[in-house]
């Protein structure tokens, strides 16, 4: 094992995380006045709540986070820090490679049987009919819903695959329609939406210096062209935090 090389990699990762945390609120989405009032009220009263995260590979905990917590458990940790032990039961019901119709098929077994107070939903396909059914079926139980948009896809450094596109940039038009559909659906159904897609592009564009010094560079947040890595999931958490009245920087960060 090359300890010197591994030490450099670890130090670079820590520096990137520190830089990402140095600008809290950068590109953070607005709640638009729609919040999870029932959930937050129960938490303030000291009552226990159950939150289920439903989605695809940017929800399920996988190797893409390299052994780190994904956004689901970063959110649980932040809620633990604010409200104490055993106040939040967090369930990750993600399923890699699944679309929203698959979520509908799993809804009763993987989500509703836990009688959640809140269900957080994100799917890459943005199938409006299926997503609407998901929201309505969850709301019918009395639970609240929070929608999320996916992150931008990033052009890989593979010239033979993408010769006209610069590596590290957003893959043009790859998910723009998806994010827009989810935001529009949230407005239509009057549920809050965390627009990660827009927040990431704003953060990437906000850096005025040389590209190599940009801590919010899209590729730094990714594990591959479509899946976020550890820093991507940390960014997801920072963008979720305002919806829960949580600090964007966790107490153990430095």
pLDDT above 90 as % of the chain: 59
Residues 169-221: tens digit of each pLDDT? 787 766 568 899 999 999 999 999 999 999 999 988 888 777 777 777 888 89
Q: Closest Cα to residue 175, out of 203, 145, 155, 204?
A: 155
190-229: b or e for each residue (b if 16 or more CB lie within 10 Å)? ebbbbbbbbbbbebbeeeeeeeeebbbbbbbbbbebbbbb
Element (H, E) at 238: helix 230-240
Listed by start position, the domains of the chain span: 25-244
pLDDT band at 161 (very low <50, low <70, confident <90, very high): low
CATH of 25-244, one of 3.40.50.1110, 3.30.2450.30, 3.40.50.2300, 3.30.70.120: 3.40.50.1110
For residues 241 and 248, is the Cβ–Cβ distance under 8 A?
A: yes
Q: How far apart are CA 239 and CA 28, in angstroms?
A: 5
Residues 213-252: tens digit of each pLDDT? 777 788 889 888 889 999 999 999 999 999 999 999 988 8
């Amino acid at each position: 094992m090359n300890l010197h090389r591994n030490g450099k990699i670890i130090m670079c990762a820590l520096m990137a995380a520190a830089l990402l945390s140095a600008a809290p609120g950068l590109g953070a989405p607005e709640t638009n006045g729609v919040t999870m009032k029932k959930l937050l009220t129960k938490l303030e009263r000291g009552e226990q709540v159950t939150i289920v995260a439903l989605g695809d590979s940017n929800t399920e905990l996988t190797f893409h986070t390299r052994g780190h917590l994904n956004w689901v458990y970063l959110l649980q940790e932040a809620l633990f820090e604010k409200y104490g032990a055993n106040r939040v039961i967090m369930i990750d019901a993600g399923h890699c490679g699944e679309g929203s119709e698959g979520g509908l098929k799993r809804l009763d077994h993987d989500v509703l049987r836990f009688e959640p107070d809140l269900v957080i939903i994100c799917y890459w396909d943005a199938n409006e009919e299926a997503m609407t059914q998901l929201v309505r079926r969850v709301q019918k139980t009395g639970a609240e819903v929070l929608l999320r948009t996916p992150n931008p896809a990033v052009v890989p450094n593979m010239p033979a695959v993408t010769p006209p596109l610069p590596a590290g940039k957003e893959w043009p038009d790859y998910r723009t329609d998806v994010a827009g559909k989810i935001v529009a659906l949230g407005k239509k159904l009057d549920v809050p939406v965390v627009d990660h897609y827009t927040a990431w592009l704003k953060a990437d564009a906000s850096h005025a210096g040389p590209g190599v010094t940009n801590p919010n560079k899209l590729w730094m947040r990714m594990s591959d062209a479509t899946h976020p890595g550890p820093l991507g999931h940390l960014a997801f958490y920072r963008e979720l935090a305002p919806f829960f009245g949580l600090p964007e920087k966790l107490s153990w960060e430095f």
